Amino acid sequence: MFGNWLKTSILMAGIVALFGVVGGALGGQQGMLMALVFGGAMNLWAYWFSDKAVLKMYRAQEVSADTSPYLYNIVKELAQRAELPMPKVYIIDEEQPNAFATGRNPEHAAVAATSGILRLLSERELRGVMAHELAHVKHRDILISTIAATVAGAISALAQFGMFFGGRDSEHRPHPAAQILVMLLAPMAAMLIQMAISRTREFAADRGGAAFSSDPDALADALLKIESYVKGGVPLHAAEEHPATAQMMIVNPLLGGGLRSLFSTHPATQERVARLRQMRL
Protein backbone atom coordinates (compact mmCIF):
# COMPACT_ATOMS: atom_id res chain seq x y z
CA MET A 1 0.00 0.00 0.00
CA PHE A 2 2.79 2.46 0.94
CA GLY A 3 4.53 1.73 -2.38
CA ASN A 4 1.41 2.68 -4.35
CA TRP A 5 0.99 5.92 -2.40
CA LEU A 6 4.67 6.74 -2.89
CA LYS A 7 4.38 6.14 -6.63
CA THR A 8 1.24 8.30 -6.79
CA SER A 9 3.02 11.09 -4.88
CA ILE A 10 5.98 10.96 -7.25
CA LEU A 11 3.70 11.08 -10.29
CA MET A 12 1.72 13.97 -8.82
CA ALA A 13 4.99 15.83 -8.16
CA GLY A 14 6.01 15.10 -11.74
CA ILE A 15 2.86 16.58 -13.25
CA VAL A 16 3.14 19.70 -11.04
CA ALA A 17 6.80 20.09 -12.03
CA LEU A 18 5.83 19.74 -15.68
CA PHE A 19 3.31 22.53 -15.20
CA GLY A 20 6.06 24.76 -13.82
CA VAL A 21 8.38 24.00 -16.74
CA VAL A 22 5.70 24.60 -19.36
CA GLY A 23 4.50 27.76 -17.65
CA GLY A 24 7.99 29.18 -17.52
CA ALA A 25 8.67 28.26 -21.14
CA LEU A 26 5.44 29.58 -22.62
CA GLY A 27 3.42 31.85 -20.44
CA GLY A 28 5.55 33.16 -17.63
CA GLN A 29 3.76 33.88 -14.38
CA GLN A 30 0.74 35.43 -16.07
CA GLY A 31 0.16 32.42 -18.30
CA MET A 32 0.66 29.95 -15.46
CA LEU A 33 -1.84 31.79 -13.26
CA MET A 34 -4.50 32.05 -15.97
CA ALA A 35 -4.17 28.38 -16.95
CA LEU A 36 -4.30 27.18 -13.35
CA VAL A 37 -7.34 29.32 -12.54
CA PHE A 38 -9.11 28.12 -15.69
CA GLY A 39 -8.32 24.46 -15.07
CA GLY A 40 -9.05 24.73 -11.36
CA ALA A 41 -12.48 26.29 -11.93
CA MET A 42 -13.48 23.56 -14.35
CA ASN A 43 -12.33 20.75 -12.09
CA LEU A 44 -13.76 22.31 -8.93
CA TRP A 45 -17.15 22.09 -10.60
CA ALA A 46 -16.36 18.51 -11.64
CA TYR A 47 -15.31 17.59 -8.10
CA TRP A 48 -18.61 18.77 -6.60
CA PHE A 49 -21.06 17.80 -9.32
CA SER A 50 -19.50 15.15 -11.59
CA ASP A 51 -21.01 12.26 -9.61
CA LYS A 52 -24.54 13.40 -10.42
CA ALA A 53 -23.58 14.12 -14.02
CA VAL A 54 -21.98 10.71 -14.56
CA LEU A 55 -24.86 8.82 -12.97
CA LYS A 56 -27.24 10.73 -15.24
CA MET A 57 -25.11 9.95 -18.31
CA TYR A 58 -25.37 6.25 -17.49
CA ARG A 59 -29.09 6.51 -16.69
CA ALA A 60 -28.32 4.85 -13.36
CA GLN A 61 -31.24 4.02 -11.09
CA GLU A 62 -30.80 4.20 -7.32
CA VAL A 63 -31.83 1.04 -5.47
CA SER A 64 -32.49 0.19 -1.85
CA ALA A 65 -32.67 -2.84 0.40
CA ASP A 66 -36.29 -3.24 -0.72
CA THR A 67 -35.82 -2.87 -4.49
CA SER A 68 -32.50 -4.72 -4.89
CA PRO A 69 -31.62 -6.56 -1.66
CA TYR A 70 -28.96 -8.75 -3.34
CA LEU A 71 -26.66 -5.91 -4.43
CA TYR A 72 -27.56 -3.53 -1.62
CA ASN A 73 -26.78 -6.01 1.14
CA ILE A 74 -23.43 -6.94 -0.44
CA VAL A 75 -22.42 -3.28 -0.49
CA LYS A 76 -23.73 -2.73 3.05
CA GLU A 77 -21.72 -5.63 4.48
CA LEU A 78 -18.53 -4.55 2.71
CA ALA A 79 -18.95 -0.90 3.72
CA GLN A 80 -19.17 -2.01 7.35
CA ARG A 81 -16.01 -4.11 6.96
CA ALA A 82 -14.23 -1.15 5.38
CA GLU A 83 -15.52 1.19 8.12
CA LEU A 84 -17.18 3.45 5.55
CA PRO A 85 -20.53 5.25 5.58
CA MET A 86 -23.13 3.42 3.50
CA PRO A 87 -22.86 4.76 -0.06
CA LYS A 88 -25.78 5.17 -2.42
CA VAL A 89 -26.21 2.13 -4.66
CA TYR A 90 -27.16 2.27 -8.33
CA ILE A 91 -27.89 -0.20 -11.13
CA ILE A 92 -27.19 0.64 -14.78
CA ASP A 93 -29.26 -1.12 -17.43
CA GLU A 94 -26.35 -2.21 -19.65
CA GLU A 95 -25.42 -5.68 -20.87
CA GLN A 96 -21.65 -5.21 -20.51
CA PRO A 97 -20.48 -6.29 -17.05
CA ASN A 98 -18.81 -3.35 -15.32
CA ALA A 99 -18.93 -1.15 -12.22
CA PHE A 100 -17.62 2.14 -10.86
CA ALA A 101 -17.54 4.37 -7.79
CA THR A 102 -17.97 8.11 -7.65
CA GLY A 103 -18.44 10.91 -5.12
CA ARG A 104 -16.19 13.60 -3.70
CA ASN A 105 -15.64 11.89 -0.32
CA PRO A 106 -16.79 8.83 1.67
CA GLU A 107 -19.75 10.78 3.06
CA HIS A 108 -21.02 11.57 -0.46
CA ALA A 109 -20.15 8.36 -2.31
CA ALA A 110 -22.04 6.16 -4.73
CA VAL A 111 -21.30 2.78 -6.29
CA ALA A 112 -22.90 1.58 -9.50
CA ALA A 113 -23.04 -1.82 -11.20
CA THR A 114 -24.46 -2.80 -14.55
CA SER A 115 -27.26 -5.30 -14.84
CA GLY A 116 -24.84 -7.37 -16.92
CA ILE A 117 -22.38 -7.78 -14.08
CA LEU A 118 -25.16 -8.90 -11.74
CA ARG A 119 -26.07 -11.68 -14.17
CA LEU A 120 -22.50 -12.71 -15.00
CA LEU A 121 -20.73 -12.92 -11.66
CA SER A 122 -21.24 -15.21 -8.72
CA GLU A 123 -21.99 -13.61 -5.36
CA ARG A 124 -18.39 -14.18 -4.28
CA GLU A 125 -17.03 -12.47 -7.42
CA LEU A 126 -19.48 -9.57 -7.13
CA ARG A 127 -18.32 -9.02 -3.54
CA GLY A 128 -14.77 -8.75 -4.88
CA VAL A 129 -15.80 -6.13 -7.44
CA MET A 130 -17.79 -4.00 -5.01
CA ALA A 131 -14.98 -4.21 -2.46
CA HIS A 132 -12.65 -2.80 -5.13
CA GLU A 133 -15.03 0.11 -5.72
CA LEU A 134 -15.31 0.81 -2.01
CA ALA A 135 -11.50 0.87 -1.83
CA HIS A 136 -11.58 3.76 -4.33
CA VAL A 137 -13.94 5.54 -1.95
CA LYS A 138 -11.74 4.76 1.07
CA HIS A 139 -8.62 6.04 -0.72
CA ARG A 140 -10.38 9.26 -1.87
CA ASP A 141 -9.31 8.53 -5.43
CA ILE A 142 -11.84 11.01 -6.82
CA LEU A 143 -9.91 13.81 -5.09
CA ILE A 144 -6.56 12.52 -6.40
CA SER A 145 -7.84 12.21 -9.97
CA THR A 146 -9.40 15.68 -9.76
CA ILE A 147 -6.11 17.27 -8.70
CA ALA A 148 -4.27 15.46 -11.49
CA ALA A 149 -6.91 16.50 -14.01
CA THR A 150 -6.72 20.12 -12.81
CA VAL A 151 -2.98 20.40 -13.42
CA ALA A 152 -3.10 18.38 -16.65
CA GLY A 153 -5.92 20.58 -17.94
CA ALA A 154 -4.00 23.69 -16.98
CA ILE A 155 -0.95 22.43 -18.88
CA SER A 156 -3.06 21.83 -21.99
CA ALA A 157 -4.65 25.28 -21.70
CA LEU A 158 -1.26 26.89 -21.18
CA ALA A 159 0.12 25.13 -24.24
CA GLN A 160 -2.81 26.30 -26.35
CA PHE A 161 -2.44 29.90 -25.21
CA GLY A 162 1.36 29.87 -25.18
CA MET A 163 1.80 31.64 -28.47
CA PHE A 164 -0.27 34.56 -27.21
CA PHE A 165 1.57 34.99 -23.91
CA GLY A 166 5.16 34.67 -25.09
CA GLY A 167 7.96 34.95 -22.56
CA ARG A 168 8.22 37.18 -19.52
CA ASP A 169 9.96 39.82 -21.64
CA SER A 170 11.57 40.12 -25.06
CA GLU A 171 15.01 39.14 -23.78
CA HIS A 172 13.76 35.89 -22.20
CA ARG A 173 11.18 34.90 -24.80
CA PRO A 174 11.86 31.29 -25.89
CA HIS A 175 12.87 30.39 -29.43
CA PRO A 176 9.74 29.90 -31.57
CA ALA A 177 10.76 26.34 -32.51
CA ALA A 178 11.21 25.39 -28.85
CA GLN A 179 7.89 27.05 -28.04
CA ILE A 180 6.07 25.00 -30.66
CA LEU A 181 7.76 21.80 -29.47
CA VAL A 182 6.66 22.42 -25.88
CA MET A 183 3.13 23.20 -27.04
CA LEU A 184 2.93 19.88 -28.87
CA LEU A 185 4.62 17.61 -26.34
CA ALA A 186 3.52 19.06 -23.00
CA PRO A 187 -0.16 18.03 -23.19
CA MET A 188 0.83 14.50 -24.21
CA ALA A 189 3.30 14.25 -21.34
CA ALA A 190 0.66 15.50 -18.90
CA MET A 191 -1.84 12.95 -20.22
CA LEU A 192 0.65 10.10 -19.85
CA ILE A 193 1.41 11.06 -16.25
CA GLN A 194 -2.30 11.39 -15.49
CA MET A 195 -2.91 7.90 -16.91
CA ALA A 196 -0.01 6.49 -14.90
CA ILE A 197 -1.60 7.94 -11.74
CA SER A 198 -4.89 6.27 -12.68
CA ARG A 199 -3.21 2.89 -13.21
CA THR A 200 -1.41 3.16 -9.86
CA ARG A 201 -4.70 3.87 -8.09
CA GLU A 202 -6.30 0.82 -9.75
CA PHE A 203 -3.59 -1.42 -8.29
CA ALA A 204 -4.16 0.16 -4.88
CA ALA A 205 -7.93 -0.38 -5.14
CA ASP A 206 -7.37 -4.03 -6.11
CA ARG A 207 -5.25 -4.52 -3.01
CA GLY A 208 -7.67 -2.65 -0.76
CA GLY A 209 -10.68 -4.48 -2.17
CA ALA A 210 -9.01 -7.84 -1.68
CA ALA A 211 -8.42 -6.92 1.96
CA PHE A 212 -12.03 -5.80 2.51
CA SER A 213 -13.45 -9.00 0.99
CA SER A 214 -10.71 -11.31 2.38
CA ASP A 215 -10.81 -13.03 -1.02
CA PRO A 216 -8.33 -11.75 -3.64
CA ASP A 217 -9.07 -14.72 -5.92
CA ALA A 218 -12.70 -13.62 -6.19
CA LEU A 219 -11.71 -10.24 -7.63
CA ALA A 220 -9.14 -11.89 -9.91
CA ASP A 221 -11.76 -14.28 -11.28
CA ALA A 222 -14.21 -11.40 -11.76
CA LEU A 223 -11.67 -9.30 -13.69
CA LEU A 224 -11.00 -12.17 -16.09
CA LYS A 225 -14.72 -12.72 -16.71
CA ILE A 226 -15.40 -9.02 -17.26
CA GLU A 227 -12.51 -8.53 -19.66
CA SER A 228 -13.56 -11.61 -21.61
CA TYR A 229 -17.00 -10.11 -22.21
CA VAL A 230 -15.56 -6.71 -23.14
CA LYS A 231 -13.12 -8.27 -25.60
CA GLY A 232 -15.98 -10.35 -26.95
CA GLY A 233 -17.56 -7.17 -28.25
CA VAL A 234 -20.29 -6.54 -25.67
CA PRO A 235 -20.49 -2.70 -25.69
CA LEU A 236 -21.14 -0.29 -22.85
CA HIS A 237 -23.21 2.25 -24.75
CA ALA A 238 -22.94 5.07 -22.23
CA ALA A 239 -19.14 4.76 -22.21
CA GLU A 240 -19.11 4.82 -26.02
CA GLU A 241 -21.09 8.06 -25.90
CA HIS A 242 -18.93 9.54 -23.13
CA PRO A 243 -15.43 7.98 -23.49
CA ALA A 244 -13.89 10.29 -20.89
CA THR A 245 -15.81 8.34 -18.23
CA ALA A 246 -14.21 5.01 -19.19
CA GLN A 247 -11.42 5.52 -16.65
CA MET A 248 -13.95 5.14 -13.84
CA MET A 249 -14.82 1.54 -14.68
CA ILE A 250 -13.23 -1.48 -12.99
CA VAL A 251 -12.21 -2.74 -16.46
CA ASN A 252 -11.71 -0.42 -19.42
CA PRO A 253 -14.98 -0.72 -21.40
CA LEU A 254 -13.33 0.62 -24.57
CA LEU A 255 -10.55 -1.91 -25.08
CA GLY A 256 -8.65 -1.36 -28.31
CA GLY A 257 -5.37 -2.22 -29.96
CA GLY A 258 -2.19 -0.41 -30.93
CA LEU A 259 -0.64 1.69 -28.16
CA ARG A 260 -3.41 0.79 -25.72
CA SER A 261 -1.04 -0.24 -22.93
CA LEU A 262 0.72 3.14 -23.03
CA PHE A 263 -2.40 5.28 -23.22
CA SER A 264 -4.71 3.13 -21.08
CA THR A 265 -6.07 4.40 -17.78
CA HIS A 266 -6.16 0.78 -16.52
CA PRO A 267 -3.30 -1.65 -15.87
CA ALA A 268 -3.22 -4.83 -17.93
CA THR A 269 -5.76 -7.25 -16.50
CA GLN A 270 -3.26 -10.12 -16.50
CA GLU A 271 -0.90 -8.09 -14.32
CA ARG A 272 -3.72 -7.20 -11.93
CA VAL A 273 -4.72 -10.86 -11.71
CA ALA A 274 -1.14 -11.97 -11.10
CA ARG A 275 -0.78 -9.53 -8.21
CA LEU A 276 -4.08 -10.64 -6.71
CA ARG A 277 -3.11 -14.33 -6.95
CA GLN A 278 0.01 -13.51 -4.93
CA MET A 279 -2.18 -12.11 -2.15
CA ARG A 280 -3.97 -15.38 -1.34
CA LEU A 281 -4.77 -15.31 2.37
Please state, in angstroms and rounded to a whole number, the distance separating the CA atoms of residues 180 and 186: 10
Q: Residue 224 — very low, low, confident or very high, per pLDDT cuts 50/70/90?
A: very high
Residue-level pLDDT at 155:
64
pLDDT tens-place string over residues 263-275:
567 899 999 999 9
Active site (catalytic) residues:
133
What would the DSSP string read from start to end of 170-184? TTTPPPHHHHHHHHH
Helix or strand (DSSP H, E) at 58? none
Q: Residue 280 — very low, low, confident or very high, per pLDDT cuts 50/70/90?
A: confident
What is the average pLDDT value for the chain, to the nearest integer? Answer: 79
Three-class SS state of 100: strand
pLDDT tens-place string over residues 44-68:
666 677 688 889 989 999 999 999 9
Helix or strand (DSSP H, E) at 243? none
Q: How many residues does the chain have?
A: 281
Minimum mean pLDDT range among 17-31, 131-145, 183-197, 234-248: 17-31
Please state, in angstroms and rounded to a whole number, the distance separating the CA atoms of residues 205 and 198: 11
**Residue 269 CA: distances (Å) to CA of 202, 215, 225, 226, 247:** 11, 17, 10, 10, 14
pLDDT at 78 over 60: yes
Q: Residues 77, 123: contact at Cβ < 8 Å?
A: no
Sheet holding 99-102, edge to edge: 61-63, 88-92, 110-114, 99-102
pLDDT tens-place string over residues 87-100:
999 999 999 999 99
Q: Residue 129 — very low, low, confident or very high, per pLDDT cuts 50/70/90?
A: very high
* pTM of the entire predicted model: 0.74
Residue-level pLDDT at 279:
92
Residue-level pLDDT at 247:
81
pLDDT at 101 over 70: yes
